[in-house]
Structure 1
Amino acid sequence: MTDTTAPDDSGSEPSLGDRLRRHVSENRRGMLHDLVFALAWVTLVSLLFDYVFVNAPTWAYYMFMLAGIPAYFGFFISLDMAREQR
């Protein structure tokens, strides 16, 4: 296992709970951004298909959901590029 911290003197690996807590504390902000983007995307697509594209086929709904993957990367890459230009 590749761990950046020194092992304990006890010789045992940290528990799953300890590793999970450490991971969440190190990546808190990124995980929050991911969650907010996912909730916004799913809400937007659901509202579109509930009120605008009412008679659209189910496969179109799933394709819009899958389009969230490139939209996620496109959004955050462009956000990083905008931050670098400041």
Structure 2
Amino acid sequence: MTETDPIDDPDEEGPVDRVRSHVSENRGGMLQDLVFAIAWVTVVSLLYDFAFANTPQWVLYMFMLAGIPAYFGFFLSLEMAKRQR
């Protein structure tokens, strides 16, 4: 049997400290992600409830899934615009 180092090193920070440091390092990006997600879900829900009220529920799911390429497209175009400025 071979000896191995213990997985938990007492000098390392705990999971709460790791989450706290991750959030503090990425605060701006996480806030942008949250705002985009809330805005997308709100717009899609309103469209589905009022404009497409008679459509099947899978249309709602397709609209929600469309948020993934919309997210990346929006933020990539935003980065490109910032670089060209």
Aligned equivalent of 1:33? 32
How many angstroms does 1:71 deviate by? Answer: 0.1
Aligned equivalent of 1:85? 84
Partner Cα distance (1:21, 1:51) in 2: 40
Larger Rg: 2
- The correspondence of residues 1-86 of structure 1 with structure 2, limited to 5 A, is 11-86=10-85
Q: With structure 1 as the length reference, what TM-score do the two structures score?
A: 0.86
How many angstroms does 1:12 deviate by? Answer: 2.5
Q: What amino acid is aligned across from residue 46 of structure 1 in structure 2?
A: S
Q: How many residues align?
A: 77
Partner Cα distance (2:57, 2:18) in 1: 40
How many angstroms does 1:11 deviate by? Answer: 4.4
Partner Cα distance (2:50, 2:10) in 1: 59
Aligned equivalent of 1:3? none
